[in-house]
Structure 1
Amino acid sequence: MPTVPSEGSRPSANKPHEYRQTAESFGSDAERYDRARPRSPEALVERIVSGSPGPDVLDVGCGTGIAARQFRAAGCTVLGVDPDARMADVARRLGTEVEVAAFEAWAPAGRKFDTVVAAQSWHWVDPAAGAAMAKRVLRPHGRFAAFWHVFRLPSQVAEATVAACRRVMPDSPFDFGALANPSVAVYGPLLTKAAEEIRGVGGFDEPEEWSFSWEWSHTRETWLDVMPTLGALTRLPADASASVLAEVGAAVDAMGGRFTMPCTTVAVTAVRSAST
């Protein structure tokens, strides 16, 4: 989930890629990130792979290589690009080749790819510069796909999370209320902006939006492992983080110590035109 915590520079909340401290904060606990973050629906991976002209995948903002490993398992050769060397180190250890750079500033050195994907990372990329780079590195008929996971917490857990976050981060520009009432519509601006920039750069067929439904089950322990990897919490001091986790943990305990929540993965995708 894209989250935009407070920073001193206060860039527009509609431009999360400008929050560089948050964008590059996930490596503060890269091992936890890799362990706790969700995998993408296999149906999404299969659809992307089957609609691409070949096996060469560029994974933008690859992090620890979670999505990269899924594409490798599907028979692809994957190169990751990520601005955080700590995340890249974990990805390499787990078998993914990674180059450390922001995608907009990355030097492809003439290399071309059949697919460019961004798993929960495109909001950290300048959408105009990112679209231009995707066009530059894709082969004719190659596919671009950016996707995000939307999850609906049980009301008790969502309410406890919102209350705790508002208490410890009263000045944060992030709308914590979205945690209590999440929906695919929350991602509408991201999908729309990505599609607009793809259209604007030219050289792509008309963008499409895809959606995949799935479920994600948690115990108290596993959910509290996920929470510190969310963008709203990655830069919290340890005592503040512990306070939030204690309140949320109590809410999960009151539900019997476990829950299953419905999730949706939303994607914007476009095929590189052969003629331009």
Structure 2
Amino acid sequence: MMKNIFIYPNLRKDSARDILQPVCDQLRRDGVRLMLPKQMRVVPPIIEDADYMKTEDAVQFADMAVVLGGDGTMLRLAREAAQNQLPLLGINVGHVGFMTELEPAELPEMEKLFTGEFSLDSRMMLHVAVQRGGRIVYENDALNDIVIAKGTAFRVVRVGISADNEEVTRFNGDGVIAATPTGSTAYGLSAGGPVIEPSAENIAVIPICAHALAAKSFVFAPERSVSITAACEGGSEVFISADGGQGFAVRPDDRVIITRSDLQMRLIRLKGNSFYRILQQKL
């Protein structure tokens, strides 16, 4: 039984605050502890019987987290949740909400959390490390994707891709995306990449606006080590970002190493919808 539940709303969305009280009402019962982010202590509505604490502390104590938002909100919590093996249940108050499970009208479905009528959907993550002069200067993990892109709109990025130290391809363009199956329905899909079902656990590498007819996406086995170099014409900066987070400047001599992460994200499923049914509903 889920006894310690962390509720993580997107405070920038009025719709997330609007459903906070109904969500708490659905989850409230004897023996269940509700936790909310500390900064919500002064943000209406005030949940009197909830414990307010720092997110980094809550993810360690909780048995699960209920995320009120869209895919972006899920991604913001994903790394900390995966580090603590904390499963997430998403309630969509965003736009697409591909990773979320419920819509606001489906809150009664949460009763299944207490009857055991749910499953856990494990999702692979990617690890990225930037090597510079023989040392690691940046590391991160991503549930969706790792994007390497130009910082200036009017320059071209020269991209080189290798797998297990063997060159795969080179092209000029706006950058490149390395995506998990989860991320294959996000930016990678917009860039013309393949849709990969989550159980396949592959790594997709997708050019962004490549200036070559022959530049294609590649799908690698999860055990591959993918190495990427990227340099912008005219000395302009190239940046790397994991799951849309803060960018890190990549130099021309840097090597970006992307591998399967040791972390896994677990999503709570209550309705039993298949990946293909979710595709039809959301996209």
TM-score (structure 2 length as normaliser): 0.30
Specify the structure having the higher radius of gyration (Cα): 2
Structure having the larger proportion of residues in helix: 1
TM-score (structure 1 length as normaliser): 0.30
Bigger relative CO (Cα 8 Å, ≥ 6 apart): 1
